[in-house]
Chains A and B, each alone.
Chain A
Amino acid sequence: MQEFKSLKDIPEQDYFTGGSSTCAGCGPSLGLKLALKVLGPETIIINSAGCMTLLPLYPNTPLKASWIHNAIENAASTAAGARHGLDMLGDKDMNVVVYAGDGATYDIGFASLSAAAAKNERIIYICYNNQSYGNTGFQWSTATPYGSETKTTPRGKENPTGTTVVNKDMLKIMGAHRVYAATASLAYPVDFLNKLGRAKERDGFSYIELLGACTAGWNYDPRLTIKISKLAVRCGMWPLYEIEHGMLNLNKDFSELKPVDEFLNMQGRYRALPPNGVERLQGLINEHWAELKEYNGQRYV
C-alpha cells in the first residue's frame, strides 16, 4: 500500500455514516470512521460489547461494511472463526478486524486475544482504549491510568487518588506475542492509517491500540477530542510507537515532553487529584518514556 504523507492523501470515500447513537465528539466513533477508509467495504468488524456496540441500532446501521457483535470477552475468537470460515470458503480477501474497547481487551477478553495473537491469526485487532468501561458509565478497567477517577474508583476520604493501580503495559504484552503491535492517536490520522495499511498487508496478527478520547467519561467539552488526543501524545501519556519482531520503533519522538498538568487540567476525571498523585503519575510517564527512548531501534521484548 502507498503510505499517506499528509491528510490530503487520505481517501475521500467513507464507509461510515452519521445517525448512530454514540455521543457527540466520540473518539472511538471517529477511529472507526477513519479505519474504514483504509479497510473498505469488504471488511467484517468484530465488535465486543461496549460503546461501539450501539453504532448499529436495529434496523439502522452507520456501517457500509459487515459487522458481528457477539459478546464482550470473545471478539478475538469470533474473529478467528470468521477468518477461518472465510478462508475455507475461499474468500481470502475479506478483512477481519476487531474493534473492541479496553475492558474487553485488557480484562475480560484477554485470554481470547492472547490465543489469537499467539496463533498469529490473520486478524487486525484494534483496541479503542477509552481507559474505562465506558458504555456502562465509566468504571475502572486495567487500562485506567493511575490517578483517574472512575465510578468504581471514586476519590474519597480514604482514597484521594481514585485509581491506584497502574495500568497494564499492554503493548509490551502484545509485542511479546511476536506480532505487530502499535499505538495510534486520533490526532495523528496519517500515522494511524499507515499503521492500519501495513497491518492489512500482513499475513498474520496485528494489534493496534488507539487512544479513544471519551467526552462523557473523561469529562471534557466534546469539541476538545482532538486537542486532548494530541496533548496525550505530547505529554507522554500516549506515546506513539510500534513493536515488530520484538524491535521497538518510536514513531513520534520529542526532545522534551510537555508536563502532564495541562493534559490533566482539561479533564474532569483528574479534577482534585492531589499533588502527590500528579507527581506519581508524572513519574510513571517519565519512566515509560525513558524506557522507550532507551530501547528505540533495539530489541524491546
Chain B
Amino acid sequence: MKQTLVTGNEAAAWGARLVRAKYIPNFPITPQTECIETLARWSADGELPGTYFDRMESEHSVMSAAVGAAAVGTRVFTATSSQGLLLMHEVLYIAAGMRLPIVMANISRGLSAPVTLWSDHNDFLDQRDSGWLMFHAENNQEVLDMVLQAYRITEDPRVLLPAMVNMDGYVLSFTDEPINIPSPGQVEEFLPGYDPAHTIAHGRPITVGPPVLDEYSIFKAQNHVASRNALAVIEEVQDDFERIFGRRYHLVDGFMLEDAELVLVTQGSMSTTAKAAILEMRDEGIKVGLLRLRVIRPWPNEAVAGALKDAKAIAVIDRNVAPGKGGIMFPEIIETLYNLDRRPLVSGFVVGLGGKPQTESKVKEITHKLMDDLAAGRPRMEWNDLEET
C-alpha cells in the first residue's frame, strides 16, 4: 500500500475527511491549528462535499455547536488542544450525558500557568471523568486509524458516547511520518453512514437535556455501562479493520512482555523511544518490557492486569501530574493490581512535563532505578527533569 508523509495534525484531518464528517466546528489553538487549516483548505477547494466547516468564536462554542449538530443526528468532528480543551470542559460532560457520539482530536499540550506550547498529558487527563471515551495514539498511523475506529465505536448502539483521540503535540502533530491513507471506499465499507434513533428529526420532536429528579443516578449508570460496553466493541471492530486495512489494535499495546520481570507503563509518543531503549536493554540481558496505555476510558482493567500480573516490578511513567498526589495513571495502575494474589512492586515517575524530551538514556535510567527499587523492596514516587538549565 502506498505510504504518504503526513503530520499528526494532517492524519487527524484525513480521518475527519474519510469518515465524511458533516459538521466541523473549530477554533484555532497551538498546536492543533494545522489540523483545522488542512480541513479549511480542503473545504475551500471543494474536497469536503457535504461538510460544513464552521469557524466559531471559542472552544466552548465549538463543543456547544458540536452538541447542537450531534443532537440533530449529524456526524461531527472537531479538534483542539490544552487551554481550548479546558474551556470545553463544561460541555464535554453534557455531550457525554446526552450520549452524542462526537469525535474530537486533542493535540495535547501542557496547561498554563506558566505558559508552555509543548506537550504533556494533563489537558486530556483532566477530562478523564467526563464520560468520554479516551484514546491515546503512539504515532501518526494510529492517529488516523483511531479516528476511523472512534466513529465506529462511538456510533455503536451499545455505546453512543463521544470519543477523544489524543496525540502528543509537536512530537506527532508537527512531525511527518509515512502512513497508509486508506481509500474512501475502504472507509465507507468500514464505517457506513450514521442514522441514530435518539436524536431530533423531522416528525420526531424530542426534548434533549431536560432536568431530572430521582433518575440522575440511573442515567449516570447508563453512561458508565455504555462506556464499559465499549471495551467489547473496541475488540470487535478489529476484525473488520484488519480485513479492510490490514492493521489490528488491542485494548493495550504490550511490547516484549512475555518474560518481562520489569515493565514500563507508558502512554503516547514516548512509548516509541522507550521501545527502542528496551531493545538495547534486552541485548544487555535486562528482562524489561513495556505496556502502552492506548485506551484510557473505558479502563481496560482485565487487559492491564493480565499484562502486568507476572511482572516483578513496574514503573508507571506519567507525563502529567496531579499536584499534591503525583502521576495520574500511577494510582490507576496500583488499583488495577491491588486485588491480585501476588502484587508486583510499583514505582511512579513523573516525566516530560511541558514537553521535556524523553530520551532512550532517560528510559534506561528509570529502568535501573526500578531495578534498585526491586532489590530494596521499596517503591518510589519520583520527579524527573528537574535540573535547571
CA distance A64 to B207 in the complex (A): 9
Q: Are A56 and B210 in contact (CB under 8 A)?
A: yes
CA distance A88 to B23 in the complex (A): 8
Q: Are A73 and B60 in contact (CB under 8 A)?
A: yes
**How many residues of chain B are within 8 Å of chain A by beta carbon?**
43
Contacts of B54 in A (CB 8 A): 80-81, 84
Contacts of A76 in B (CB 8 A): 61
Expressed in whole angstroms, the minimum distance between the Cβ of B102 and any Cβ of chain A is 10
- Partner of A78 from the list B67, B76, B201, B203 (CB cut-off 8 Å) is B67
Classify the interface of chain A: helix, strand, loop or mixed: mixed
Q: Are A69 and B70 in contact (CB under 8 A)?
A: no
Expressed in whole angstroms, the minimum distance between the Cβ of B55 and any Cβ of chain A is 8
CA distance A46 to B69 in the complex (A): 12
CA distance A56 to B351 in the complex (A): 49
B338 within 8 A of A: no
Nearest chain-B residue to A43 (Cβ)? B205
Contacts of A74 in B (CB 8 A): 60-61, 64, 91
A30 within 8 A of B: no
CA distance A59 to B209 in the complex (A): 11
Among A108-116, A262-270, A282-290, which stretch is in contact with chain B?
A108-116
Q: Are B50 and A115 in contact (CB under 8 A)?
A: no
- Partner of B22 from the list A44, A53, A89 (CB cut-off 8 Å) is A89
CA distance A53 to B210 in the complex (A): 7
Contacts of A18 in B (CB 8 A): none
Contacts of B22 in A (CB 8 A): 85, 88-89
- Partner of B205 from the list A58, A65, A91, A112 (CB cut-off 8 Å) is A65
Q: Are B211 and A56 in contact (CB under 8 A)?
A: yes
CA distance A66 to B210 in the complex (A): 11
Binary interface encoding of chain B residues 61-75 relative to chain A, with 1 for a CB under 8 A from any of its CBs, else 0: 110111111111110
Q: Are A81 and B208 in contact (CB under 8 A)?
A: no
Contacts of B52 in A (CB 8 A): 84, 87-88
Interfacial residues of chain A within 36-71, with CB under 8 A of chain B in the complex: 41-42, 44, 46, 53-54, 56-59, 61, 63-71
Q: Are B91 and A85 in contact (CB under 8 A)?
A: no
Expressed in whole angstroms, the minimum distance between the Cβ of B96 and any Cβ of chain A is 13
CA distance A226 to B60 in the complex (A): 38
Expressed in whole angstroms, the minimum distance between the Cβ of B76 and any Cβ of chain A is 8
Nearest chain-A residue to B52 (Cβ)? A84
Q: A80-B68, A82-B71, A86-B72 are contacts. A111–B57 as well, Cβ < 8 Å? A: yes
Q: Are B64 and A71 in contact (CB under 8 A)?
A: yes
Interface residues, chain A, CB within 8 Å of chain B?
41-42, 44, 46, 53-54, 56-59, 61, 63-71, 73-74, 76-89, 91, 93-94, 111-112, 114-115
The 4 closest A-B pairs by CB, nearest first: A81-B68, A81-B65, A85-B69, A74-B64
